[in-house]
Copies of this chain bind each other. A is one copy, B any other.
């Protein structure tokens, strides 16, 4: 195998202030604590998770049956992964002790042959590996690996890593290209990405080989999932092959289809494998799927998955705002995919989408207290319709405490608490900065170090102070967002002209301590339109500023948001406001259609265009919606 690493993630970055710090603290303080209670069934009135109990039962320490979904184990792993990132961030002995205890509970359930999945251990091992399509053994294994690697990297402790390595050895003994093994692949991807991390941390190529096998084998005839269905004599097996992205070999796939989270996870794994194996056809497939995803099937908030049928992608340009699925996990998956595309080839195009998803469709999934969550992230809500229209019953207009299928909250936790891994990548001596957050950047080589000061995304000014102990040659490539039309760049107070390629402005110099870079993005309010192919958004605009997508809420604008119109050439005003955890509020010139009393009893009439009255429209960041009770919301407004 021709192995090349591509751009490396800058794991040495930190985030220690500003916008994201609040989120990280909320996750560490509220989320992780709450979830630990949930995993241990210590939350009154919540449906029982049984997660940790399942491990105890599987290890014989407790009696009982399996509780929850077939993928219940993954909740513990996601929790551990988030815990690992919190510890990496700023240590926490109590949390680490808790995690060590959880790891022991997990390890105790591992079977002599390395197998570890409580669902099958409890319900009968003779049935394991018979339903890769729907029963999530490889998915749970993947999350175990992610947790194991993260925890090892954060604490140096190998306990869970060793458990994971034994489990992977077992998987390798059961699945693979050799005769007598199952020629299968996961019904829900994640292990592909996870194995690539395991390869990264161990250097053992067998992990790369298994990841590549899962990617390559998918969609090969005879279709494994069909064969598996036959073996189980399952007549009405649930799910189309498209749902699993298993309808054709991945290199022949050109459209983002099926379950959106599965798709994003698969494409992420493909990009990892393509990068490390320097596989041009696989890279090309990633680019094709990326383009289809982000140019035809993505919401302005970075949400993906247009339909609740299969929580799935639908078809090009089909982006309904009120019946969207837009699962939080799918937007998270898009962030995973984007970073891996950046590792294939640093280009601001990928970082733009990553940023779009992060600041909008990802964090909209959580309330400002970190206690309530959206699974579905709509762009338009009329609460009465959510209640009464079965087409919209999946669109819950207020965040919920926790879910029976609790995939989104812990996924949010692990992403938010590892966000420094998304800040920058390094390739060939160039440090590509993709996200701007207060903190530090340490290039992988260690030579280049910067402190980053910024109030982004509220303000477009970013200051980088070089922290390098000794002068270091290198290129600092600063992403200029696609939304930015104008910026200034100074080094040590002097304006500089620097070349711009692939959306990065590049500063090449021998950096020395206290070199100061000031990048200031002009950050005006923007009225954004959708491609005219998108029927749902025709004649409408969305208001954005910087990476943030804004929305209208009933709390600020009254009801009947559909009667409002933006005056796109009118004045707008920005204002830091204490509300909603501290936001930049935008007020803009608008109009409201006047409803004349003649309409009281009339449904249809010959009538002139309705009169309008001026009305100031108040926009809040989309992510902060639904924090003030039930009401209408809309991202898109008529213009």
List chain A positions with a Cβ less than 8 A from chain B.
Answer: 291, 294-296, 298, 300, 307, 309, 314-315, 318, 323, 382, 384-385, 388-391, 483, 485, 526-535, 538-539, 542, 560, 562-563, 568, 593, 595, 599, 601-610, 638-639
Contacts and interface: CB of A to CB of B under 8 A. Distances in A.
A315 B538 contact: no
Contacts of A606: 483, 485, 526-529
Nearest to A535: B562
B390 A599 contact: no
Given A314-B388, A389-B318, A602 B531 contact: yes
A602 B353 CA distance: 12
7 contacts: A291-B601, A300-B603, A309-B390, A531-B603, A532-B599, A533-B560, A538-B593
Sorted nearest first, the 9 A-B pairs with minimum C-beta distance are: A309-B390, A529-B607, A526-B606, A535-B562, A315-B388, A532-B595, A538-B562, A531-B599, A300-B604
Contacts of A300: 603-604
A296 B309 CA distance: 30
A630 to B, nearest CB: 16
A391 B388 contact: no
A58 to B, nearest CB: 35
B526 A307 contact: no
A605 B388 contact: no
Nearest to A297: B603
Max chain B Cβ within 10 angstroms of own Cβ: one of A531, A599, A602, A609: A531
Contacts of A542: 604
Contact of A530 (B532, B604, B608): B604
A638 B391 contact: no
A603 B530 contact: yes
A389 B609 contact: no
Given A563-B538, A603-B295, A605-B528, A314 B639 contact: no
Nearest to A385: B318
A483 B604 CA distance: 10
Given A314-B388, A562-B538, A610 B294 contact: no
A609 B528 contact: no
A55 B309 CA distance: 43
Contacts of A296: 603
A294 B603 CA distance: 7
Nearest to A315: B388
A560 B538 CA distance: 11
Contact of A529 (B485, B526, B528, B604): B604
A602 B314 CA distance: 19
Given A388-B314, A389-B307, A532 B563 contact: yes
A384 B296 CA distance: 15
A421 to B, nearest CB: 26
B528 A382 contact: no
Contacts of A563: 532, 538
A638 B602 CA distance: 20
Contact of A390 (B307, B483, B595): B307
A531 B604 contact: yes
B532 A610 contact: yes
A639 B609 contact: yes
A334 to B, nearest CB: 13
A43 B287 CA distance: 53
Max chain B Cβ within 10 angstroms of own Cβ: one of A388, A526, A535: A535
Contact of A604 (B291, B309, B528, B603): B528
B307 A535 contact: no
Contacts of A602: 295, 531
Contact of A389 (B314, B389, B595, B639): B314
A226 to B, nearest CB: 23
Contacts of A610: 529, 532
Nearest to A598: B531
Contacts of A527: 606
Contacts of A639: 609
